[in-house]
Amino acid sequence: MLPEDNHDLCPYPGEVSRHPHLDSPPLLVATTRPLDASEDLLSRLPAGDNVCWVRRGEGLVGWGSAARLQVRGVERFARTQRWWTELCDTMAIDDSVSLPGTGPLAFASFSFDPHDPSEVVVPSTLIGQRGDQAWVTTIHAPGVEPETMESARIDSTAGRSHASVNWREGSLSAPEWEKSVGRAVERINAGELDKVVLARDVVADIDSELDVRIILDHLARDYPTCWTFNVANLVGATPELLVRRTGDLVTSRVLAGTVRRRGDTEEDHSLAQALLASDKDLAEHSYAVRSVAKALATHCTDMDVPENPTVLELANVQHLATDVTGRLADDASLLSLAASLHPTAAVCGTPTERALTVISELEGMSRDRYAGPVGWFDTRGDGEFGIALRCGLVDSQAYTIRAFAGCGIVAGSDPEHELAESRAKFIPMRSALEARSST
């Protein structure tokens, strides 16, 4: 396996040197073979360092490390692309399945702010599943037999839970964050900007070693239409797809404008209709859609941007949602598309630079990899990136998880209402950590 890459070992930060001779023996061999499908893809995951990208029971899970990269800076997406291209040049790829998600893959979790580190992991063992088709990819040194995976180990976490979870305030207390929202509204009303997204964090203290598989199981079960993920200890279930690239087809799902669900069908329907009629929420959503459409238009033709949003229902909240699609007019990879899109108005604001300034002045914390692109990409430039929402950053040594939630602030936003919305957005992580099984 390759050693972990770091800036001190590379001639250019975040890169590896190109294989000097194209006819030289490969440093790594990537082998993909069919595998019997499982009713529970997440049960394939062993404990320890693992990666996950699962939705509706399908997706990708992996473990081990064939290569890793930590990269930062405004060019982090381009540097990652160069690193990945050069790494793949050192591989001999044997893929007998040839489906989206087969062959060597990289999982990435990019920071919101370019000054914070981003993480990229290439798992040495990866299992994928799409419908009734499943496969296993192993990355190994030449001459080394790959792991036998005719029947991958099933290791269910059913019935397990964390014994005790205690929550505490994060970087700002609730009243302090409400004051920040109020100051943001004042600056919007003064004409400084149109929208800003302010996030807050809370911290959970766990009384024993944290098993992220328990969190993943609960999130995937309770939020099956979300993308449940784990990359470099950032774990969550995001409802928002930043960008998917499949050949020349590009898709993005924009979410902005939120109302909490009450658990009563008629009341939730009334709330959804009110959300669709809300000038405040429609304005917030419009900013986000325009920012995505503008970014994708630099790479795509045949753009489809629906005029009106729909309502996406999740277990805890309802969102205004718009799916934007286009056809690639150039050879932009998934990483290039993500670089053009991030940060969208859905997680930053508009105008972008003014919103970033207000965030740095009012939020009182580093977002780390919260609200950054998270997902996977392959050797063809295809893959999926969600926006890292409804998530938490695990510190396994300190037995803590730092959870995040953010709210779009526009003219007319009420600090008390925004605080309630942020609490609703913490529910997925709270429930996954605090869940108790009856079995």
Question: What does residue 384 show for φ and ψ, rounded to 5 degrees?
Answer: -140, 135
Rounded CA-CA distance 411/355 in Å is 14
The CA-based diameter of the chain, rounded to the nearest angstrom, is: 67
| Amino acid symbol at 72 | R
3 state SS for the chain: CCCCCCHHHCCCCCCCCCCCCCCCCCCEEEEEEEECCCCCHHHHCCCCCEEEEEECCEEEEEECCCEEEEECCCCHHHHHHHHHHHHHHCEEEEECCCCCCCCCEEEEECCCCCCCCEEEEECCEEEEEECCEEEEEEEECCCCCCCCCCCCCCCCCCCCCCCCEEEEECCCCHHHHHHHHHHHHHHHHCCCCCEEEEEEEEEEEECCCCCHHHHHHHHHHHCCCCEEEEECCEEEEECCEEEEEECCEEEEEEEEEEEECCCCHHHHHHHHHHHHHCHHHHHHHHHHHHHHHHHHHCCEEEEECCCCCEEEECCCEEEEEEEEEEEECCCCCHHHHHHHHCCCCCCCEECHHHHHHHHHHHCCCCCCCCCCEEEEEECCCCEEEEECCCEEEEECCCCEEEEEEEEEEECCCCHHHHHHHHHHHHHHHHHHHHCCCCC
Helix 265-277 to helix 279-297 angle (10° resolution) is 70
> Which residues are known catalytic residues?
195, 240
Contacts of 188 (CB under 8 A, 6+ apart): 194, 195, 196, 409, 410, 411, 413
Contact 55, 227 (CB under 8 A): yes
189's tokens: 């009303």
User: Measured between alpha carbons, how far is residue 435 from residues 156, 222, 229, 399 in Å?
Assistant: 16, 11, 18, 17
